[in-house]
Amino acid sequence: MTGEQPEFTKSPYFVGEPGNWHLKPGAPADVVAEFTLFMESVDAKAPQASVDDILKDLGMK
């Protein structure tokens, strides 16, 4: 992670497993809101590969 560490990462409800970030049940609404906004922004920035791109990478097209 680059830049400032989001506040939700300091919460005891945050589980920072590599590739599986999530919140434990019962997380406060403000933590859930910040986590959701952060994850949506990460998803929006992530490149999306098409099926054709994946097949080309695998040498199947």
Strands 20-23 and 14-17, by their bridges, are antiparallel
Spans of all domains in the chain: 29-61
Helix (H), strand (E) counts: the chain: 2, 2
0.85 surpassed by pTM: no
- Give the model's pLDDT for residue 19: 87
Report how far Cα 59 is from the mean position of its chain's Cα atoms: 29
pLDDT band at 2 (very low <50, low <70, confident <90, very high): low
